[in-house]
Homo-oligomer: A and B are copies of this chain.
Amino acid sequence: MGVTISDIAKRAKVSSTTVSRVLNDSGYVKEETRLKVMKAIKEMNYTPSAIARSLSKSETNTIGVIVPDITNSYFGEIIKGISEIAEHNNLNIVLFNTDNSLEKELKAMKSAKEQRIEGIIMTPGFGEGRFNSDYVKIINNLNIPIVLVSADIKFINLNGVFVDNIKGGFDATNLLIKEGHTKIGILTGLLSSDPVIDRLAGYKKALQENNIEVLEEYIFNGEFKFSKSFEITKEILKMKNPPTALVVCSNMMTMGVVRALTESNKKIPQDLSIIGFDKLQYLDMVGLNITYIEDSPIKLGQSSMEMLCNIINDKSKHSIRRITIAPKIICKGSEKKNRQNV
């Protein structure tokens, strides 16, 4: 890569130590000498090596970001949030995409450590039985500041920025109640998933606070799947006493519900009101306006990067930092109650 400090030193007729002092702005250098060095640097088109700097200061100004699926725009938005704050703090981002593989996740953490990265922001992959004590031990042994973002786990004693899914479930259900619905169902995913458990808890809480009975027959398990939700919706349409509104716990499942309704010539919200979770790109453009609860992934990314900066700057790493961010409701009309049915 060409020019070195000693090349500069020769040209400026000073010692390498003097050049280093000028580059690092440390130690005493006569102004005249400084100008000579700067001139040589300019003439030789020298770019100070960040690596050399990082060795001398033992700082790399680089953090690692580990995500399970870079093709999912949800993580793209998290990274956008992270990089906004990283830029303000002159930090570079080394990116690791794990394809939801535990092996790649552990390899990424090891590689980050080898690169002397200053900290890690990570969304762990999902999967049952993954977050055991071995996993936590590995993370703790890394001895690098680490912040989880939008992780599906809460029980682990790690720094992190989490989503308030109880509030998400509560707000969705509460909005339907305010619209006049009393027969409200919920389409959950796998009940081993923390977000689902929390959304269901929020749903129940809203019903109970409004003195509406929680009915087991209104709680459906769509397993996070399009096909399963499609089938369940077809069954709901056949029920004697069907719910008039449905809280749907993922965007794939919302698609299944929408498809089943349109195929049966049923209208939203006239025949069934819906509130989904997560943005559904493009749907409103073709006239399907589905109200949804959104995580604000950009904000999650920003908060996680701010947290990591605080941890890096505050060298006392004893306390665990945790933030929970409330999701937002984006109203599009699908939550309305059909006035004729009131």
Contact = CB atoms under 8 A, between A and B. Distances in A.
Contacts of A47: 113-114
Contact of A76 (B58, B60, B73): B73
A230 to B, nearest CB: 9
A282 B285 contact: no
Q: Chain A contact residues (Cβ within 8 angstroms of B): what range?
A: 35 or more
A322 interface: no
A54 interface: yes
Given A51-B116, A55-B51, A114-B47, A259 B281 contact: no
14 contacts: A2-B143, A50-B115, A51-B55, A51-B115, A70-B83, A72-B76, A73-B76, A79-B95, A79-B97, A83-B95, A94-B94, A95-B95, A256-B285, A281-B281
Contacts of A285: 226, 255-256, 258-259
A3 to B, nearest CB: 11
A299 to B, nearest CB: 13
A71 B76 contact: yes
A341 interface: no
Contacts of A259: 285-287
A94 B92 contact: yes
A26 interface: no
Given A51-B54, A255-B282, A281-B282, 11 more contacts: A1-B116, A47-B114, A50-B114, A50-B115, A70-B83, A71-B298, A72-B73, A83-B97, A92-B94, A259-B287, A280-B282
A140 interface: no
A75 interface: yes
A341 to B, nearest CB: 24
A69 B51 CA distance: 28
Nearest to A87: B104
A58 B49 CA distance: 11
A182 to B, nearest CB: 28
Nearest to A226: B285
Nearest to A256: B285
A283 to B, nearest CB: 7
A225 to B, nearest CB: 12
Contacts of A87: 104
Interface string A191-225: 00000000000000000000000000000000000
Nearest to A61: B115
Given A58-B1, A73-B73, A286-B288, A93 B92 contact: no
B62 A71 contact: no
Interface string A246-265: 00000000011011001100
Contacts of A83: 70, 95-97
A226 B282 CA distance: 11
Contacts of A65: 95
A92 B93 CA distance: 10
Interface string A112-138: 011110000000000000000000000
Contact of A55 (B55, B113, B255): B55
A88 to B, nearest CB: 12
